[in-house]
Amino acid sequence: MKARLRFILAACVLGLLMTGPFALTGLLLFADAKDAERAAFAQFLVPRLPVGGVITLLGLVAGVLLLRGLFQQYVQGLSRMAETLRLMLGANRNFRVAPEGPPEVRELARAANDLAQQRDELLNDVEAQIRTAKATVEEEKNRLAALMSELALGVVVCNLDGRILLYNSRARLQFKALAQGPTSMSGGALIGLGRSIFSILERGQITHSLENIQQRLRRGSAEPTANFITSTRGGQLLRAQMAPVLRTGATGPATATVDSLPPAPPPGEGGDNVGSQAAPAQGVAAATMLGAELQVTGYVLTIENITRNFEREAERDQVLQSLTDGNRAALANLRAAVETLIDSPEMEVDYRERFTRVIADEASAMSQRLETTMSGFADSLKTRWPLEDVLAIDIVAAAARRVADRLHLPIKNEDQDTSLWIRVDSFALIQAITFLASRLQDHYAIRELRLRLSAEGKMVFVDLIWSGTPVSSETLYTWELEPMNVGAETSPLTLRDVVDRHSGEIWYQRDKAAHNAFFRIVLPAAVTPDVQTIDQTQHLHSDSRPEYYDFDLFAARDAEGSGIDPDRRLTDLAYSVFDTETTGLQPSNGDEIIQLGAVRIVNNRLLRQEIFDQLVDPVIPLKPEGILIHGITEAMVNGQPRLDVVLPAFHEFCAETVLVAHNASFDMRFLQLKEDSLGVRFTQPVLDTLLLSAVIHPNQESHRLESIAERLGINVIGRHTALGDAYVTGEVFLKMIPLLADMGILTLRQALDAAQKTYFARVKY
């Protein structure tokens, strides 16, 4: 626009230059002349004026044409060249300016090309050096990646927000098998770099385990890991072990932290000073961990699907139980009857007959029970949950914090034995305590709750004590059978389930002397673990621990936390780049989507394995002219899921990412037309590579995907499949980000605004 204005201005100046001197001379002469001379002059001039005018006009036209030629060659040619020079500078180093136009411009182009050549040589030299340096690192990385992918355990690494930073193929397989979805993609979509682990595992369990780990670190535990069992929507059981990722390498601050801490030798380690060398080494390790306590940056989850082991174990358990407990009563009846018979030789005949009948009855009932147990034990499975040995005081403290947080109910400790270990599912147990507290608060308006921890023989008592209103035992019996819901937090388990799971008991008791009442939860005590033996497993935290990615996403913590902030930098956002193939170009006239393809961009990388690739049955017949373009035939779409199934899965795949597409308004129209009927809404921001291309290169004629790809030096393969186009669009988009940055377009909001303003934004389908 600016150049055009300048051109018009120049044309005006030319016109003035050509007519101005004549007009001025004429005017001066005219002013100087007398009346008669003026009349004669007019008489002489007026008839000849058209000829002069035409000649002047012709001259002007010729002048403007000449000016335009020069303008095109020098001004516009140069600004085109400037754009291509910028390209060479940034996105596509191998691009060269085509020498065209007048000789001076051609010479300039050649000089620029030479300069570029020189720069490339220099750069190549530097790059070669960097490459060699990188190769060693890369090799190491790959070796560890291979190792990780071969592991039989699923491994997932997350930052504190629960964003996945790394996963291995085993984890991917496991979660894929777990995911329930009608399309092949709904499973694979769940796990991915930058995605939230909470879509797979329960948030409460993760945070609880993290808390446990923090506590253990604080105590200087040699093994700050936590185990939990979780069940998925499909009823599968996963066993997960969580180990913290501690910030290492920052020795300066870490040592400072250690110094400022009071000297607290880890419990249990001070006693045995075996060997003068081992003891200091242990001390140092413990100290590092103490210092690192506040620097847990994430966690490693090792995940194992134990459903099948579990079922087998549970079956065996069931058999055992029905053979022991199930027969106790019958055996009691038998034994009592037999003993009575033996001890009473004087018994009357009809009594004797009744006793004999009891014996016969019970004996045959027992045989029958044995039979049904053996043949049908698989039918009714009572799941047994694996439990973890923990310090009882940890559980009580965690429960106290939770009750205080959730219910704002003051908690006091009373006679807590700190040395007790119990074998529990800590998450469920804390839920149970919170549940009881909330019930007491809601129904009996208690103002304070005291927690007591004591032991008797092989049993540990957890007491919830309150003063004032007594509760009836019946109330506890009803509470036992209700699901443990506290506020918005729901649980499928009842208090009874939790108690049974621990082979524990619960009851209500009053202490009249102390004017209070309490619920007592009895749990089997666990053996106090031997700290020394646990020390052997410390390899998890030694310096040799494999860290095969530099995990840039660890640092992305705060930014990745919540949704899509339009003021975040384009380089920090996660994107789903997608494309659709359709039956035609008119969504409002009944054309339908037949293929959806998408790929994710996280942390500035195109993740070629995290894809969505799905054919869709459009229900309407395909058009022959369309088949020529996309190559998708009736046979291919037949039997594929319909859009009502695919679109929700795609929606899940795109969650929390910015959408990117080439000519996005076209694809978005197809999606949006279905939003109401299918109940999914794509509310995230959308970036269009076509509009962005127009922002970056306003003077280029073509903004077709191929042309842009060519300009940016991207090899186009597999076009005209939805996924193929999504790949190309993704690569194009990644190249555009630095070009946009050169123009001062750094944030999502700026990119959206710039796209809006381009000419193309006004074109609507």
Partner 1 sequence: MSHRILIVDDEPNIVISLEYLMKKEGFQVAVATDGETALQLASEFVPDLILLDVMMPKKSGFEVCQALRAAPELVATKIIMLTAKGRETEVTKGLALGADVYITKPFSTKDLVLQIKSLLG
Nearer to partner 1 by C-beta: 508 or 575? 508
Site string for partner 1, 469-498 (x = CB under 8 A): ----xx--x---------------------
Residue 340 interacting with partner 1 (CB under 8 A) = yes
Q: Which of 343, 543, 558, 676 touches partner 1 by CB under 8 A?
A: 343
Instruction: Please identify, among the stretches 209-217, 388-396, 505-513, 527-535, the one whose residues bind partner 1 according to the rule CB under 8 A.
Output: 505-513
Full DSSP string of 448-500: -EEEEEEEETTEEEEEEEEESS---HHHHHHHHTSB--BTTB--S-BHHHHHH
Which residues in the 355-384 window bind partner 1 by CB under 8 A? 355, 358, 361-362
Burial (CB count within 10 angstroms: exposed 0-12, middle 13-18, buried 19+), residue 160:
middle
Within 13 Å, how many C-alpha atoms sit on residue 617's CB side? Answer: 10
Shortest distance (Å) from residue 275 CB to partner 1: 41
Is 30 a binding residue for partner 1 by CB under 8 A? The answer is no
Q: Rounded to an integer, what distance in angstroms lies between the CA atom of residue 57 and that of residue 35? A: 30
Are 723 and 661 in contact by the 8 Å Cβ rule? The answer is: no
Q: Applying CB under 8 A, which of residues 131, 354, 623, 681 lies at the interface with partner 1?
A: 354
CA angle 609, 612, 614 (to 5 degrees): 130
What mask, x for binding partner 1 by CB under 8 A, covers residues 119 to 138? Answer: --------------------
Residue of 144, 140, 72, 59 lying closest to 102 (CA atoms)? 72
Least distance between partner 1 and beta carbon 515 (Å): 18
720 is catalytic: yes
Shortest distance, CB of residue 331 to partner 1, whole angstroms?
4
Q: For residues 419 and 473, which CB has a smaller minimum distance to partner 1 in the complex? A: 473
The backbone region for 643, taken as left when phi is positive above 0, alpha when psi lies in -120 to 50, beta otherwise, is: alpha
Please answer whether residues 579 and 729 qualify as being in contact, where contact means their C-beta atoms are separated by less than 8 angstroms. yes
Q: What is the distance between the terminal CA atoms of the chain, rounded to a whole angstrom?
A: 26
115 vs 332, beta carbon nearer partner 1: 332
Which of 335/720 has CB closer to partner 1? 335
Cβ proximity of 595 and 632 under 8 Å: yes
> Residue 326 is inside which H or E element, if any?
helix 307-343
State the nearest-atom distance from the C-beta of 336 to partner 1, in Å. Answer: 4
**Minimal CA–CA distance to 638: which of 659, 622, 625?**
622
Among 13, 33, 329, 534, binds partner 1 (CB under 8 A): 329
Stretch that binds partner 1, among 138-146, 263-271, 340-348, 626-634 (CB under 8 A): 340-348
Among positions 54, 294, 332, 363, the unique one binding partner 1 when judged by CB under 8 A: 332
- What gap in Å lies between CA 357 and CA 290, rounded to an integer? 71
Q: Which of 273, 309, 344, 413 binds partner 1 (CB under 8 A)?
A: 344
Q: Which of 39, 336, 378, 629 binds partner 1 (CB under 8 A)?
A: 336
The correct pick among 334, 694, 723, 737 for binding partner 1 (CB under 8 A) is 334
**In this complex, which beta carbon is closest to partner 1, that of residue 458 or of residue 764?**
458
Catalytic member of 208, 408, 651, 720: 720
Task: Tell me which of 189, 522, 654, 751 binds partner 1, using CB under 8 A.
Answer: 522
Q: How far is the CB of 504 from partner 1 (least distance, A)?
A: 5
Cβ proximity to partner 1, 366 vs 686, nearer residue? 366
Shortest CB 323 distance to partner 1, Å: 13
CA distance 477 to 496: 9
| Binding residues among 441-470 for partner 1 as defined by CB under 8 A | 456-459
Alpha helices in 189-250 (DSSP H): 203-218
With CB under 8 A as the contact rule, the residue among 505, 550, 552, 753 that binds partner 1 is 505
Q: Which of 507, 609, 672, 738 is in the footprint of partner 1 by CB under 8 A? A: 507
Place of tokens 């300016």: 97
Minimum Å gap between C-beta 511 and partner 1 is 12
Q: Do residues 642 and 620 lie in contact, with contact meaning Cβ atoms separated by under 8 Å? A: no
Nearest distance, CB of residue 458 and partner 1, angstroms: 7
Could you give the CA distance from residue 414 to residue 687 in angstroms, rounded to a whole number?
60
Site size toward partner 1, by CB under 8 A: 36
Under 8 Å between Cβ of 159 and 556: yes
Buried b or exposed e, range 273-309, using 16+ CB within 10 angstroms: eeeeeeeeebeebbbbbbbbbebbbbbbbbbbbebee
3-class secondary-structure state, position 607: strand
Q: Are strands 658-661 and 686-688 parallel, antiparallel or unpaired?
A: parallel
Q: Are 167 and 191 in contact (CB under 8 A)?
A: yes
DSSP secondary structure, 382-433, as one string: ------EEEEHHHHHHHHHHHHHHHH---EEEEEE-TT-EEEE-HHHHHHHH
List the interface residues with partner 1, window 79-98 (CB under 8 A). Answer: none
Least distance in angstroms from the C-beta of 482 to partner 1: 17
**HSE-CB of 569 using CA atoms within 13 angstroms:** 12
CA angle 522, 527, 528 (to 5 degrees): 110
Work out whether 34 is an interface residue with partner 1 (CB under 8 A): no
Please state the closest distance from residue 481 (CB atom) to partner 1, in A. Answer: 12
- Opening angle at CA 393, ends 392 and 397, nearest 5: 125
Kindly tell me which of 478 and 490 has the beta carbon lying closer to partner 1.
478
- CA angle (19 as vertex; 14, 24 as ends), nearest 5: 130
Q: Is 416 exposed, middle or buried (0-12, 13-18, 19+ CB in 10 A)?
A: middle
Q: Which of 119, 312, 316, 335 binds partner 1 (CB under 8 A)?
A: 335
Among 32, 325, 379, 676, binds partner 1 (CB under 8 A): 325
Q: Which of residues 605-624 bind partner 1 (CB under 8 A)?
A: none
Q: Per-residue string for binding with partner 1, 278-317, x by CB under 8 A?
A: ----------------------------------------
Nearest-10 Cα torsion for 268, 269, 272, 278: 160
Residue of the chain from 337, 462, 601, 690 that contacts partner 1 (CB under 8 A): 337
Q: In whole angstroms, how close is the CB of 245 to partner 1 at the nearest point?
A: 39
Judged by CB, which is closer to partner 1: 325, or 567?
325
Taking the least distance from each CB to partner 1, the nearer of 355 and 549 is 355
Name the one range near partner 1 by CB under 8 A: 19-27, 177-185, 520-528, 608-616.
520-528
Per-residue x/- mask for partner 1, residues 566 to 605, rule CB under 8 A? ----------------------------------------
Q: In angstroms, what is the minimal distance from the CB of 335 to partner 1? A: 5
Strand ranges (E), 294-333: 296-305
- So which residues are the catalytic ones? 720
Residues that bind partner 1 (CB under 8 A): 325, 328-329, 331-337, 339-340, 343-344, 351, 354-355, 358, 361-362, 456-459, 473-474, 477, 503-505, 507, 509, 520, 522-524
